[in-house]
Amino acid sequence: MRTHILKYKYENLVHILLLALNAAIFVSASVTLALMTNQLVSKQIQSFLALLGLEVGLYVIYLVLNYIITVHQAKLIQKMSLVIRQSYLSKITHHSFSEFRKIDIGEHLSVLNNDIQLIESNGFTSIYILCSTVFTTLFSIIALLSYDVRIVLLVILLTLCLTYLPKPFATKMQKAMERFSKANEELVSGISDQLYGYADVYYASRKHIFLRQVKSIVEDYISQKIIYTKRSTSTETLMSLFSVIAQMLILLLTGLLIIFGNIAVGTIASVGQISGNIFNSLSTINQLQVTIKSVEPILRKFEDYPTVSKSDLPIFRILILRMCVILLEKMLLLRDSLKPLKREVNTLLLDAQVVGSQP
In this prediction, residue 61 carries a pLDDT of 94
In this prediction, residue 307 carries a pLDDT of 45
Cβ within 8 Å of residue 280, ≥6 positions away: 243
H helix runs in 146-266, sequence order: 149-163, 167-196, 198-203, 207-259
The separation between the first and the last C-alpha atoms of the chain, rounded to the nearest angstrom, is: 97
Q: Are 70 and 20 in contact (CB under 8 A)?
A: no
Rama region for 261: left / alpha / beta (φ>0; ψ in -120 to 50; rest): left
User: Please, what CATH class does the domain formed by 2-307 belong to?
Assistant: mainly alpha
Cβ within 8 Å of residue 214, ≥6 positions away: 190, 191, 194
* Dihedral Cα 143, 144, 147, 150, nearest 10 deg: -160
In tens, the pLDDT along 254-295 reads: 888 888 888 877 778 778 778 777 777 766 666 676 677 767
Q: What angle do CA 102, 107, 112 make, to 5 degrees?
A: 120
In this prediction, residue 169 carries a pLDDT of 67
Closest C-alpha among 108, 166, 189 to residue 290: 166
Q: Where are the domains of the chain?
A: 2-307
Q: Are 191 and 216 in contact (CB under 8 A)?
A: no
| Residues of the chain under the 50 pLDDT cut | 305-321, 323, 325, 327-328, 342, 345, 348-359
In this prediction, residue 301 carries a pLDDT of 66
Helix-strand-coil split of the chain, %, nearest 5: 90, 0, 10
Closest C-alpha among 182, 308, 155 to residue 246: 155
In this prediction, residue 313 carries a pLDDT of 38
